[in-house]
Amino acid sequence: MQVVTFELTLVLIILLVTLILFSIGRFRYDVVALMALLGVTIVGAVPYEEVFLGFGHPAVITVAAVLIISRGLINSGFIDSIARMTARVGERPLIQVIALTGLATVLSTFMNNIGALAILMPVAIRMANKSDISPSIVLMPLAFGSMLGGLITLIGTPPNIIIALFRGQDGGQTFMMFDFAPVGIGVAFAGFLFLSLVGWKLIPHRIGDEGESIALMKEFVTELRVPEDSKFVGKRIRDLEKVAEEDIAIIALVRNGNRIRVPSTRRKLKAGDGLIVRGHSDELKMMVDTAELVLVGKVLDEEDYLEADEVTTLEVVISSGSLMEGQNAKSLKLHKNYGANLLAIARQGRRLSARLGSIRFKIGDVLLLQIPTDKMDETLVTLGCLPLIERDIRLGKPRQVFLAIGIFGIAITLTILNILPVQISFVMAAVAMILTGLISPNDAYKSINWPVIILIGAMIPVGKALENTGGTQLIANVLLDLGGAIDPILAMVIILLVSLLLSAILNNAAVAILMAPIAIDVAVTLGVSIDPFLMALAIGASSDFLTPFGNHSCTLVMGPGGYEFSDYLRLGIPLSLIVIAVSIPLILLFWPL
């Protein structure tokens, strides 16, 4: 029986607290990972000189390089041109789902799934609106398709890169670029067929009262101010409501710093009053124009500000890694630092009645922003937001497209032929894209999802500490003891299932880092090959379809699609069962015990 040392006990407590903090989402996962790293260091499980070695790990370098290369491919116009052709498939929902989900699956095989989603999400919304169907029908299959494609290659998703390198440490050689393909292609194809033929029919069609999609009917909360020269000074609130034909809800009146919730419609308005209102963006604009009110943050002496060619008003969704996450408009000094005015905010499932500037942003929030047109792209990249309107398609010069494909192709070839390890060949490709102007050095840094980089770099030593103190072997023994004389196939299924369930609430890279040593120890204890267990982990860690929180692709479509939590279970449970049923036989076929 394994002895549980005091050091191991402390490490397990730190790990348990870390998992709890990951799951409740109170703090960003990169901050939690750093806290865990410092914790295992203080208790002596990681030597001081090795604390930050995880940030130089090949997995960290490879993930960063893949993100830069993805941005270079997007900048070349290659991805945009494919998206433009996809937008012509017709107005039938079945055909749209097949085209969008299939393209997302293919693109995410070789690029970051968030990058693929960023390009295709506006296209999907435009196609749905043009066809008078709800975007909810196409957006969730699109997000799930982008996740399925990552199962096929080494670079498709961070867990694959992490698992490959764990195999190299314990098996002598890492998984190569297409070692994941025999299983990944089968699983992705089965998932694609389900989503395209059956899955989208399981999603509620969330349609507004007049048949308009929820992406257009979304209610926003914003703050208005009554200026001294407004013709509504001295008039009653009910007079103001009549302007918008009572389609705008005045949910609070702010006067002299005091907030009056649900004010009486007979109350008279005074100059300087603040109004917190809820409604559709077009209705809000009509009220502002007709009643001569002021959107908070708007310069008072600029006439027709919303109509000016120099300013663009658009809806955006806060992406993963955004500097806005956890901040509010006041703390960011949004207008002063970025030239952007926050006009409204919508968050699925919650009615926001706080003052606009004090609402803390979350990933997936939909914002109505006012941005100088000539700085729109730069501002959105800096803030970490994705536009929900289709951008002008950048077809790119043929030389740029061929150049980007050529650089990427050479990197893949060098990796496949085992001439260079993936971290070297892909860093070379990233540098080549910078030198050839496909991506600027500043954009290269901005394209990296730094919270994920910090998470991986911090959690690798934490996972190593768990392994070195005997924690992974202890957990492996517990799993085997629970199953008695467990069959290796059943043990592999358990690894897949546990990793799949953990990925529903934790970042999938963290799941891979923590579960890989456990999967290896289970296989070694049973006296079988570690490869099928690592492949099962790879499938489970990247099949986080059950909640909107496990994968950022799921989070990003929640607001624009109008989804509720139960919608993910409605589609995610059958898809997960299909993934398990298809993957286990394929793993045993191509990676026998």
pLDDT digits (tens, 9 = 90+) for 571-583: 999 999 999 999 9
Vertex 312: Cα angle to 342 and 328 (nearest 5): 15
In this prediction, residue 302 has a pLDDT band, given cuts at 50, 70 and 90, of: very low
How far is Cα 468 from Cα 475, in angstroms, rounded to an integer?
Answer: 13
- The pTM score is 0.77
Vertex 592: Cα angle to 590 and 593 (nearest 5): 155
The whole-number pLDDT of residue 184 equals 96
Q: How far lies 246's CA from each of 243, 279, 353, 357, in Å?
A: 7, 10, 18, 25
Q: Tens of pLDDT along 441-496?
A: 988 888 888 888 898 999 999 988 888 888 888 888 887 776 556 789 999 999 99
Q: How far lies 168's CA from each of 156, 165, 308, in Å?
A: 18, 5, 58
SS3 track for 376-396? HHHHHHHHCEEECCCCCCCCC
130 or 504: which leads in pLDDT:
504
Spatial neighbors of 307 by CB under 8 A, at least 6 apart, are none
Length of the chain: 593
The whole-number pLDDT of residue 22 equals 83
Strand partners, 387: 316
Does the pLDDT value for residue 16 go beyond 50?
Answer: yes
Domain spans of the chain, in order of start: 219-387
Residues 204/140, Cβ–Cβ less than 8 Å: no
The whole-number pLDDT of residue 426 equals 93
Does the pLDDT value for residue 542 go beyond 80?
Answer: yes
Q: Which ranges constitute the DSSP H helices of 246-397?
A: 281-291, 329-332, 334-338, 376-383
Does the pLDDT value for residue 564 go beyond 50?
Answer: yes
Closest Cα partner for 467 from 419, 412, 515, 435? 515
Alpha-carbon Rg for the chain in angstroms: 26
How far is Cα 361 from Cα 385, in angstroms, rounded to an integer?
Answer: 11
* Residue 371 phi, psi (nearest 5): -135, 140
Residue appearing with tokens 């694609």: 192
CATH of domain 219-387: 3.30.70.1450
Q: Tens of pLDDT along 198-256?
A: 988 888 876 543 334 434 445 567 788 888 888 888 888 888 877 765 557 777 788 88
Residues 159/542, Cβ–Cβ less than 8 Å: yes
SS3 track for 159-218? HHHHHHHHHHHHHCCCCCCCCCHHHHHHHHHHHHHHHHHCHHHHCCCCECCCCCEHHHHC
Q: How far lies 411's CA from each of 250, 416, 421, 433, in Å?
A: 57, 9, 10, 12
